[in-house]
A and B are shown apart, each in its own frame.
Chain A
Amino acid sequence: DSGVTQTPKHLITATGQRVTLRCSPRSGDLSVYWYQQSLDQGLQFLIHYYNGEERAKGNILERFSAQQFPDLHSELNLSSLELGDSALYFCASRANGGTEAFFGQGTRLTVV
């Protein structure tokens, strides 16, 4: 158990819909990272939050948004879903200046 919790584990939704993925980082970790991993693909960096503020953006679509709340949990919002958005979405957390990032078990999103 990495200490990072992602909910839900699985999500099936229709095209055009909107979903919210949740990530609870390890206690005290200020950094949260979000990634998308499509089938047999690498981890695509989406966004990095640090203590509630956006630190960096990667290849995140305009239809996607995220935020980190005062209690440090984070949510990734995906809207106007398309079939190609079907993927595993991972979040990771890391302590300030920490060596190691800890990943959650991911949310598997299926868009039908």
Chain B
Amino acid sequence: LAKTTQPISMDSYEGQEVNITCSHNNIATNDYITWYQQFPSQGPRFIIQGYKTKVTNEVASLFIPADRKSSTLSLPRVSLSDTAVYYCLVGENQGNLIFGKGTKLSVKP
């Protein structure tokens, strides 16, 4: 499984765009990049998944460069309720789900 590296924490203010980058230098051809969000004492929740280029849904965008060795989760106009831990996972969809330490995002008023 490809190892991922993310910042341990990030701070932002309400209304700003937040970009969280994840490095995955050893990503394999069959691997997808998936992001999850976790609030305290709750199970993680799927945010977005991509393979290459850009993916957008109603919650976030995911940017993946051509070499796929990194990815950036973009959260537009964050609010206080976006304060959470964000996890980047790399792997096959039928494989294991290995979570790293994640990025703790704190959104301030």
Contact = CB atoms under 8 A, between A and B. Distances in A.
A104 interface: yes
Contacts, number: 60
B100 A42 contact: yes
Contacts of A103: 42-45
Interface residues of A, number: 28
Contacts of B38: 43
Interface string A72-102: 0000000000000000101010101111111
Nearest to B92: A97
B100 A56 contact: no
A42 B99 contact: yes
B43 to A, nearest CB: 3
Interface residues of B, number: 20
Nearest to B45: A103
Contacts of B16: none
A33 B99 contact: no
B96 A33 contact: yes
B49 A55 contact: no
B96 A92 contact: no
A4 to B, nearest CB: 8
Interface in B66-105: 87, 93-94, 96-102
Contact of B34 (A48, A99, A108): A99
Given A2-B43, A99-B49, A48 B102 contact: no
A105 B43 contact: yes
B49 A100 contact: yes
A45 B97 CA distance: 8
Interface of A: 2, 4, 31, 33, 35, 42-43, 45, 48, 55-56, 58, 88, 90, 92, 94, 96-106, 108
